[in-house]
Structure formats: C-alpha cells, structure tokens
Structure 1
Amino acid sequence: MHKSRFARVFSILFLTLFALSGIALYAADSPAVQFCLQATPLQECLSGQRDSFQLTADILVKIDGKPQKIKLELIRYDNEAFDLTAHHSDYSFQIFRRSGKTIFELPHHQKRFESTGALETKDHLAAQGILTRLIDADSSIATYLPMLQTPPSSLGFLLNQFVEFQLDEQQQLWTIDNKTRVQIQEGKTAAEPWQASCKSDDWTCDLSITAAPKSLAIPPASGNFAVETLDRNVLERQLCRGVKRAIAILSPSRRLTDPTPKDRSVEHGQLQWVDGQRVALLWGTPEEIGQAHAQLLSRQATRCMDSVLYTFGTVQTIRTGRWFQHDLEDAYARLSPHIPEDHKRELTAMAEEMGWDPNLVNVLNVFPELFHCSGFAVFDSATKDGTLYHGRVLDYMTTIGLQYSSVTFIVAPEGKIPFANVGYGGFTGCVTGMNQAGISLGEMGGRGEGQWDGVPMATLMRIALENCQTLEEVKTLWASSPRTCEYYYVFADGKTNAAVGVAATPEKIQFVEPGEYHELLGEGIPDVLALSAGQRLQTLRSRIQEKHGQIDTETALWLMSRPVAMQSNLHNTLFIPKQGLLYVANADHKHPAAERPYVKLDLNALLKEIDELKSQE
C-alpha cells in the first residue's frame, strides 16, 4: 500500500475509533455537530439503524447541460423487504423485494421481470447490510462507511476534519465546503416528516423521511404489462453487482486510480508495469494462455466483465426493456459458429481458472463494440522521412470504467504469429493491434447492431493478427469472411509502407486507397488515409494537411489529441509497424486517453523476453 494511502486510511480509522469511544472531541454547538444532530434521521436510515422508513428524493440535475428531474422513493419495511422506485421522463424502474420474491419492473416499457424462491448468491438485495454488499474497496466511499455508525456528535467531529461547515443561524442554513447549501426541517411530531433541501450550482435535492406504510402488498402488474420469469439469483446478482460496480466507477478508490505496480510471473505468463501501464506477456497453447491470463489479471477481468454484464447490462435493460444477458446470448448463438475453436478453448480455460461460467464468459466476449472512433495512416510524402505512422483513436464508454482494466497484451500463440493487442482484462478479442509481421489494425464502428450472422469483429481482427503476413492477406480475409454489422477499418503494413481503408457490412466490402476520394471522407490527401466523422474528421484532415510532409512521431501523436479524440476517449495507439513500435495511452478516472501520457512499447524486444522466459521453463 502506498504510504500516503496508508496514512489517509489510518487517520480516518483512528478518528472513527476515537469517536466511537464516546469521548467529547468537539464543541457541541459547532456547525458540524449541529448539522449531524439535525441530520440524525438520515444517518439512521443510511446506516441501517432504522428498521423501517420511507425516504423520498426529488432531484433536479443538469445532464448534458439540460436540467433533468429524477424522483426516487425507497420504502424499507424490515430487514428483507423494500420497494425502490426511480422515475425520469425517459426511463423508470421499480424494485419490489420480499423475503421470497423479487420483482424488477420497467413502467416505460410495460415490462415486469419476476423471480421467486430461495437465494444462494452472496450478491443479494436484502435490506439488512446492503451497503456492505454495494460498496467495496474499489470505491473511495468504503473508507468512510464506519463513520455512519458513530454517534451524531462524534460524526460531526469527524466530518469537520475533512469538510468545512458554516451555519447561518437565522435561516438555519448550512453551507458545506462553500458549495452546497442545506436547510433541514424537523417534524414537530412523530407523524410529521423530516425534510431537507440541498442546493448546489448544478443540482438540487429535496429529501423527506416518514414512517413506512404498514402493508407489504406488491401492486399487481397492469394488464398491459408483459411478465418474464427469471432465476432469482440471476436477477438479484444483476442488480446488486451492477450498482456495486457503478458506485466504484463514480467514486473510485486509489486501488483503481493509482494501483500499486507489482510485476508477477506465472507459468506461460508475466505481468509487467511499464511507466504505469500493465503489459501482459502470454504464450503457449490456448489453454495455457487462458489460464495465465486469469492468474495474472483475475481482478481486472472481473471488473471488466462486471462493467459490461452488470452495470452496462442493467442500464441497457432499463433503456430497452429487454434482459441484456438474453440479448447477448441470442447474439452469441448466431456468432458462435464463426468463432475459431482455439479462441473458445482459451476463453474456457480463462473462465474456469477464474471460477466463472465458461458459457457466460464466451457470451461476454462478443459484447458488440459500437465505437465512435478515428484512425489514420500517413507515410511516404506525408511524413518527415517516409515512415508509416498508423494512429488509432478508440472513443468508447469510459463511463462504465473499462479504463481500470486496461492491459496491453503481448501474445505468442503456439504455431501462430505473435502480436500486440491493446485491450482489457478478460477480453481476448482485438480492436487495436499489431503483429510481428508488421501488420497493424484499427477498427471504427458504424451501424447495423443485430446483424450477427458472421465472424465477430474483434475475433476477425485477432484472426488477422495471428495469421496474416501481408496487407493483401488481410484484405482477402475480410473479403472472404462472413461479416457482422457495419465497421470501418484502417489496415497498414510496415514492410511495404502501404495502408488501406475498409468499409464493411455483411453484404458488401469496399477498400479505400490512400489519397482516394470517398463520399464519406472527402477529397483524397496524397499518401494519407484519414477516417473519422463530422467535425472530428474535418479537424483531423486539417491537421494532416497543415503538417503534410513534416509528420514525425511527436506530430502523429498530436494528430490524435482533442477534439479528434472525444471526451469518451478510452485509448489511443500510434503504431510504427516497420520498427515494431507502439505508443499507448489509456484514459484514467479524470482524463480521456488523449490527455494522458503515452508509453512506448517495443513489440520485438518484448517477444525476445517471451523467448527467454520460455527457455527457462
């Protein structure tokens, strides 16, 4: 553990233990203590000290610059039973939970998912102790959870160590850290609600706490509602882990934002840290690679899968009214016949090593990547010394925390071409990669979700890296393979200083040569391929034209900077395939990849390390 992290955690635990001892540590009339005393009902609800209550929150918050209204209502009846309702003008859901039943209802879609029976999963939704299941060490909130159990006066002392409180006694208005203003109104009788009004620059929240209703009856589904039955373990695990992962993404701890770099070695694998980035060396048979992947990156793989299946999956279910895992399973049933058996064997070995269901892991690895990306290749007359530079900008879903699982894989599969794959723990396909033969590949998503009767895009990319020595072989592979959805690509070959753009759908494929006019890309620029969309494409073209003939490594990296890269920029990679070099930048919790430092990796040098490690086995 980092020293600063240890000191911070230790100080909080020390102060909490000191406060729990009941010693009077702070003046009873201080603003912080007065605030906590008046907020006692809320503390009792959050800490689980109240067995039953009804809590409502009316929230007004700016989303994408527009004010949005959200209404939340939580009714806790006892240690097992609760109702939770969330309503927005576009989306809504309700959860009704009783000791033997859980219902997840989507009013906007007139859909109800019902489940009954005993629970075996540890990721369940029982009201008692729910915070300990929703918040773990990946969230910074975990450090402060013990504070909820402290007496209000002692809690005031603790909060005062981290937060500034000011009190306008005439208006009974607290200002917290000069940002948030809070007014609290206590009910004069037990029947009257406790109320609080909170205001900040970008949001307001009105809270109310009253007694819970007596009746535990669940309202029946309307006659227009479609009802789908689910395994109760599946339903509660989905919601519990989805919220848990979302909390960690929204409030990441230093375990995510500043992980301790520690190299590790296992049979057929080694994890290195290079200037703050994970680099995983893997070699051997599919089973050996899959097992080593799991042994080195189990935590990162679990986070990645939780982000996709549980967090994104829950949001997608609310958005569409369809159970997300069922959609993935339907897609996999159509994609599976086109996936090589050795890829399936690798995933199965990884899943078994991690204790996951192999079928589920295989399904998750066909998660449809509808990216909004940019890519380019510049060479010959466009660059300072004729070197081919291939840039790839991946703009996709930093909001679900994939950046915390980022890994660059250096893979030497038995009997195939070794390659670099800029990816994520638990994901074995490729969206950004380069092989030892000097072939580099980058993908950009389009439309056509649901057209699954072909080779998954990320699988096709990996097949190319493992098998193709030339650009013509890559083009032949794409032209002859059954394809899915709509994707655009930039392929390059460092041996011949050649590149090609690709527009591919299941029905047709078009190859775009450098300098060639295309209706979606505009007039050609000599010895240049530039793929993007909208203003990002215009900016990329303008930059290339400005620096044409002068582009070197530093300039090529600049080409991928904002606003060519979007705020959701997950990773950027610059390939220099002739030299076997790649420069990789990954997003972090605050910055898109384009605003993060690039790390230089030498594929050939790393493959020599693998050869040395293999010789020691």
Structure 2
Amino acid sequence: MLLGLVLLSGPARGGDAGSTIDPLAANLQPYLDLLSGSQQEFELRCRAEVPIDGDAQTIKIRLARYGNHAFDLDLEHRDYEVRIRRRDGATAFALPKHGVVYVGRGDAAADAEVADTAADSLSPSGLSQRLISTRTTLSTYAPLLATPDGAAIAAALKTFVGITYDPATRRGRGNGSVEFSFEPNGSLQVRVEDAQLDLFIADQPSAMAGADDWPGMKQIEIPREELERTLVRGVRRAVEILAPSKVLTSPSKRDRETASGRLRWIDGHRVVLLSGSPREIGRAHGELLTDEAQACIDSVLHTFGVVQTIRSGSWFRHDLDAAFARLSPHIPDRHRIETRAMARALGLDENLVDSLNVFPELFHCSGFAVFGEATRDGKLYHGRVLDYMTTIGLQDSATTFIVAADGQIPFANVGYAGFIGSVSGMNAQAISLGEMGGGGEGRWDGVPMATLMRRALEECSTLDEVITLWRDSPRTCEYYYVFADGKTNRAVGVAADPDSIEFIQPGQADPRLGEGIQDAVVLSAGDRLKVLRQRVHEKHGQIDAEVGKWLMSRPVAMQSNLHNVLFVPADQVMYVANADHRRPAAERPYVRLDLRELLTSLAGRGGE
C-alpha cells in the first residue's frame, strides 16, 4: 500500500525530464516520472512473490492515477483483498473478500487547494510529503521523490548505495543480495534473496469506474475525512515504525513541567509525575505527552485499525465505539473526567479518546511472584512480562506514570501515553499487579480490565481487598493475573472471566500450570511456561533482583516483548525495561525506579 500511495505523489505536470546518456538513468526514468508526478495519468502493475513463514505467497498490486484527485489502488492476496478508489466526489475502501465497501462522500474538487494540502488528505498531489514524516529515515530521501532527474538519481544510487549496472545485459546489483533487471517486455524485475518483484507500466490506465460501482457488495457510509485520515495516518505511522528516525529512537530527553505534572527522564526512561484532581491529572498528561500520545493513538486507531479492518471486514472505529458503549457504565466518573481532560489538552475528540482507552488488551504474557524460601532474602519479587504488538510501535509512547490523585492511594503505572488504564502497576501500599490475556474477546459487559487494574492500585491496601474487588466486580473477557502484597509476602494467581473466578495459591498444583512450587506463583503458557518453571526450580532459594530479571529473559519473553517489570513491593522499588525498534524489552537495560523517592519529589513540588 505504501509503494502505491507514494507513486501517486507529486504535482501533476507535463513534459519530460530531458535526455541522458546514462543507460541506468534512461531505464529508471519512466519510474522516476511516476514518483515525481510528471505523469498525470498512468497505470502500474506489480506482482510480488514473497516467502512468508516459509511459504511462497503472491501479492498483486494495481495502481492507476487519473489526474490530480483520482486514483485506484488494488491489492490482492490469497487471504485478503483491498481496493481503494478516490474520485472528486467520494473515496471508497472496498474489501471484496468480506463483501463490504466503506464509502466517504464529499466534493474534493470544489476545494482542491485545501484537499491537496490537508495533512490527512489522500489527494495524489503531494501525497508522499504527507506520508513521510520527520520521524522516519525516509524523510532524508523524500526530496528525491519530487526530482525526475534520472541522471542525478542514478549517480546517487551508484555512489551511496553501491549500485552497479551492465548496459549490455540490462542487469544490475546493489548492496547485499539485491539484483534487478530491465526485461524485454518493458518490466522492471527486482530480486532480494527469495523475494521477487515485477513492475510494469501500462501505456494508458484502465477505464475509470465510479466510486459507487461495487455490484453485489454492501456499502457503508463513513465520513470522508475519517476514511482518508485513517488510511493516511495508518500508512504514515507504519512507515515511522518500519524505518524510525532519531526523532523516535533518540528522543529529546528534556525535563518539562506543567501545572499538575512533571516529565522527567531517569536513565533514559520517560517518567511522568501527576497529581491533583482527575481533571488536573488528565490535562497535565495531555500537555506533557502530546506527541507521544498522538503516536500511540495513530498506532492503535490508524495502523492497527486499518490492518484489523482488512482482516475482519468491520470498521475498527465502529468496533471500538460499540465496545465502549457496553463498557462505559462500569467506568468510574473520575476516570471519565480524566480521560476527557486529556483529550481536550491533546486537541482530540473526547468520544474518540474515551473509546481508545478501552482498546481490548488481549496480551500473551508471563508472570510470577516468589518469596520466602524461594528468594535469597525472603522478600517478595513479582515479575511481569508484557508480550504485545511491538510491531505497531507502542514502545515510542512508553511511559511510567507516578500518580497521586486526590483521595486515592498513590501508585506507579507502567504504561503508554494517551492511555490512563493499567496493565502493570504497584501502589504505595506495596500492592503489585500484572495481567495476562486469554480469550473471550467481545464479552464487554463489565469493568474494562485496565480500569479494574487501576482501581485496585487506587483503592486497595491489602491483597484481600484486591481479591474482593475482582470477586465482586462484573468482569470482561478472559484474563489471568498475578497479585502480590509486599507487606505480608502474599501472592496469588487468578483466572477470571465474566462467569467465574479462580484463585491459585502459592505452591498449588494446577492442570494448566503443573505441580506447585513452594512459595511461588508461576503463570505463562506453552514452552514459555516450561522454561520459566525450570528457571524458578533451578534458582529456588537464590532469587533476588538480578535473578528475577533473568527469569524474564528470552525465551520466557517473546520477540514481541513490549515491557518487563520486576516489582519489589516491600521496598517500593521496581525495575522497568521497555522495547525499542530493534530489541524486545528483555534485551534492553532495566531502569530502577523508587516509588517512595518519586512520590516525595512530587509532594515537594506541590509545596513549592
């Protein structure tokens, strides 16, 4: 999809790029004309043979441009099919395998200049500039997309990429295993290891069908602005994730303050301290983490949302809104006030941010709590492994929140900008919580899991109070948990769904988990559970903070390992590691955070 949309870019203008004596430049010129927008009308066909999970799979792409404001983009795969049609009066996003097409209407031609420059418009003119932000390394090369100078680009490829080209055979090579050739039928063939790409430019585009011409398919109306924004932001964010620039990989580490909050960087880790009323906390969250929250929202709503829509055939925003309608009666008013204050600070629609904050977290994780005879010093160590979707770039928004809300127990929440719920946390009463996802998606008539987790951090001083909260609350989906209390060296595993709840005590045997281990609760699944149990047995009686971190290393943590946390609740200390774009959290350094010290600094700030 990215390749097709970028090829649409550039101002529509006539004329050729001039002759050149460089054979490589001459052969590249037709494709450069497409990239630069020199050709106002064209059709490009592409066939890609790509090995996926050891299986050679075919993807067919057709891209046709019809002037300044109209194009077709078709993608076909054995498992999915996408067709986008943009016309002056409408944009259509069709999913033939699901028999549904989403149509947004509105006259783009009536306000052409606005359409061409709006940040989230799908108008072909200038589209590459809207798809490639400063957060991706591709921004370095973006100026070349507007330059149809074959000689200059051929020279750059030879100098900086190491391209070699033989005019006699019309074949060339690049760094590594890249090979390419200009075939007798006029196509460009590119080979990278076991993958092959064939590109062919047709003389004229196929006849332009209407945006409403979808016989036999169900049409669903979507606001055109929402439809185009979802596609543009989804692709833009995907490019940032695939090729991040230093804006993301080495963000500016400057401490900042606002009325009710402070952003601090501790050993390269983003920590936000918030205090006050729900409205004050929400506003400070949005003010301190504007860019990070927007990145998180783009990852979830737009990048993940587009993929999920293609998979399911159902518009992702509609699914979120439907889930929120069922979950919202169970969300405390103070959380709703905080979320909406954050939305206003971010300049976003309050209803949208409400819905995004119940994004279903169906994680595949691991967790453990060990204490007493299992540990070197008898203290309780609670490990939490979050394996979830590093592929959508949530790590760019990773933040540990230290929250002291009026009338509530202060707590630490290892989370993500723009998201007020909790999946990993510890409070000032030495209660620590970690969650693992199961099944049951769609069973939304209860308290959202992340809301229940945050309520426990805010409201519970003992493990018994946490257990009571879970037992007495209407629950959603299927989740597993490890809860711990550092004051009493108690821990419990939990299996819960809307109909039942089960508490697994330390040392208790369970058919899903195996024989009990003294003074230990160990939860995971499959081979990860097997390795984690082996490690706990191996180090039983010797576990401390360093061993605890080792227990969570690969392969207990998956490649999708988003964050790891080791809580030492009796000491009010936690060790946090977040994934980056190259390594899972388990392969990243841990940062030691002291909740008491952070709360003291927060209280001291309040007295300034």
Please give the TM-score of this superposition, normalised by the length of structure 2: 0.93
Query: Which residue in 2 is equivalent to 1:301?
Result: 293
The one-letter amino acid paired with 1:37 is A
Aligned to 2:17: none
- The residue that corresponds to 2:252 in the other structure is 260
1:454 aligns with 2:451: no
1:514–1:282 Cα change, 3 Å: same
The reply to whether residue 55 of structure 1 matches residue 47 of structure 2 is no
Distance 1:521 1:500, change over 3 A: same
Distance 1:127 1:490, change over 3 A: same
How far apart are the structure 2 equivalents of 1:512 and 1:545? Answer: 18
Number of the residue aligned with 1:142: 139
- Give the match's secondary structure for 2:570: coil
What is the rounded CA distance, in whole Å, between the counterparts of 2:597 and 2:211 in structure 1? 65
Taking the aligned partners of 1:113 and 1:37, their CA distance within structure 2 comes to: 41
Q: Which amino acid aligns with 2:351?
A: N
Partner of 1:565: 557
Question: For the Cα contact (< 8 Å) 2:158–2:164, is it kept in 1?
Answer: no
The verdict on how the C-alpha distance between 1:565 and 1:143 changes in structure 2, with shifts beyond 3 A counting, is same
| DSSP-derived class of the 1:387 partner | coil
Contact 2:92-2:211 within 8 A present in 1 as well: no
Q: After superposition, what is the alpha-carbon deviation per residue over 1:495-552, rounded to whole angstroms, capped at 9, x for unaligned?
A: 0011000000001100000000111111100001110000000000001101111111
Q: Which residue of 2 aligns with 1:64?
A: 53
Equivalent in 134, 157, 161 of residue 155 of structure 2: 157
Contact between 2:272 and 2:402, CA under 8 Å: does it hold in 1? Answer: yes
Q: Counterparts of 1:542-581 in structure 2 under 5 Å?
A: 542-581=534-573
**Which residue of structure 2 lines up, in the alignment, with residue 594 of structure 1?**
586
Rounded Cα–Cα distance in structure 2 between residues aligned with 1:384 and 1:317 = 50
1:167 to 165, 168, 180: 165
In 2, the alpha carbon distance for the partners of 1:126 and 1:486 equals 43
The residue type paired with residue 357 of structure 2 is: N
Q: For the Cα contact (< 8 Å) 2:86–2:211, is it kept in 1?
A: no
C-alpha displacement of 1:214 = 6.2
CA RMSD of aligned residues (A): 1.5
Q: Given that residues 403 and 588 in structure 1 are in contact (C-alpha distance below 8 angstroms), is that contact kept between their aligned partners in structure 2?
A: yes
Measured after TM superposition, the shift of residue 238 of structure 1 is 1.1
How far, CA to CA, are the matches of 1:222 and 1:310 in structure 2? 25
1:473 counterpart = 2:465: yes
Aligned to 1:108, what secondary structure does the other structure show?
helix
CA distance in 2, matches of 1:599, 1:413: 24
Give the match for residue 6 of structure 1. none
Partner of 2:230: 238
- Deviation track 1:125-174 (CA, whole Å, cap 9, x = no partner) reads 11111111111111111111112333221222333342111224442211
> Alignment partner of 2:141: what SS?
helix
Residue of 173, 181, 184 corresponding to 2:179 = 181
**Which whole-Å deviations, capped at 9, do the CAs of 1:420-479 have from their partners, x for residues lacking one?**
100111000000000010000000000000000000000000000001000000000000
- Residue range with higher mean Cα deviation, 122-131 or 468-477: 122-131
130, 143, 162: which one aligns with 1:133? 130
Give the 3-state SS of the residue equivalent to 2:24 in structure 1. helix
Q: Is the 8 A contact 1:76 1:82 kept in 2?
A: yes
2-structure distance, mates of 1:522, 1:500: 15
Match of 2:403 among 406, 411, 423: 411
**Mapped contact 1:39–1:184 kept (Cα < 8 A):** no
Match for 1:78: what amino acid? Answer: G
Work out which of the residue numbers 34, 56, 62 in structure 2 matches 1:73.
62
In the alignment, what sits opposite 2:4?
none
Measured in 2, the distance between the counterparts of 1:92 and 1:434 equals: 45
Structure 1, gaps ≥5 residues long = 1-27, 187-192
Q: Is residue 97 of structure 1 aligned with residue 86 of structure 2? A: yes
CA contact (8 A) 1:418 1:435 kept: yes
Give the letter aligned to residue 134 of structure 1.
Answer: L
The aligned amino acid for 2:228 is E
Indicate how the Cα distance of structure 1 residues 50 and 221 shifts in structure 2: closer, same or farther if over 3 A, else same: closer
CA distance in 2, matches of 1:153, 1:589: 35
Contact 2:101 2:220 in 1 (8 A): yes
Report how far residue 201 of structure 1 moved. Answer: 1.0
- Cα deviations across residues 237-295 of structure 1 (Å, max 9, x unaligned)? 11111111111111111111111211111111111111111011111111111111111
Q: Give the share of equivalent positions with the same residue, in percent.
A: 54
TM-score (norm 1): 0.92
CA contact (8 A) 1:76 1:212 kept: no
Q: Which region of structure 1 is more displaced relative to structure 2, 331-340 or 54-63? A: 54-63
Contact preservation (8 Å) 2:37, 2:146: no
Write the distance in 1 (CA, Å) between the matches of 2:23 and 2:395.
Answer: 41
Q: Which residue of 1 aligns with 2:372?
A: 380
Inter-partner Cα distance in structure 1 for 2:206 and 2:605:
67
Determine if contact 1:148/1:155 at 8 Å carries over to the other structure.
Answer: no
State the shift of 1:223 in Å.
4.6
Is the Cα–Cα contact under 8 Å of residues 55 and 74 in structure 1 kept in the other structure? yes
The residue type paired with residue 355 of structure 1 is G
1:24 maps to what in 2?
none
Asked whether the equivalents of residues 87 and 211 of structure 2 are also in contact (C-alpha less than 8 Å), the reply is no
Greater Cα offset, 113-122 or 173-182: 113-122
Give the Cα–Cα distance (whole angstroms) in 2 for the partners of residues 122 and 374 of structure 1: 41
Aligned residues: 580
Q: Deviations over 1:284-321 (max 9, x none)?
A: 11111111111110000000001100111111111001
Would the aligned equivalents of 2:296 and 2:416 in 1 still touch at CA under 8 Å?
yes
Q: Counterpart of 2:342? A: 350
Alpha carbons 1:484, 1:505 under 8 Å: kept: yes
Distance in 1 (alpha carbons) for counterparts of 2:274 and 2:299: 24
Equivalent residues of 1:585, 1:597 under 8 A apart: yes
| Distance (whole Å) between structure 2 residues aligned to residue 464 and residue 395 of structure 1 | 22
**What's 1:428 paired with?**
420
Tell me, yes or no, if the aligned pair for 2:456 and 2:466 is still in contact at 8 Å: yes
8 Å CA contact 1:95–1:104 kept in 2: the answer is: yes
Letter paired with 1:566: M
| Aligned residue identity for 2:595 | L
- Unmatched runs of 5 consecutive residues or more in structure 2: 1-19, 109-114
Determine whether 1:314 maps to 2:306: yes
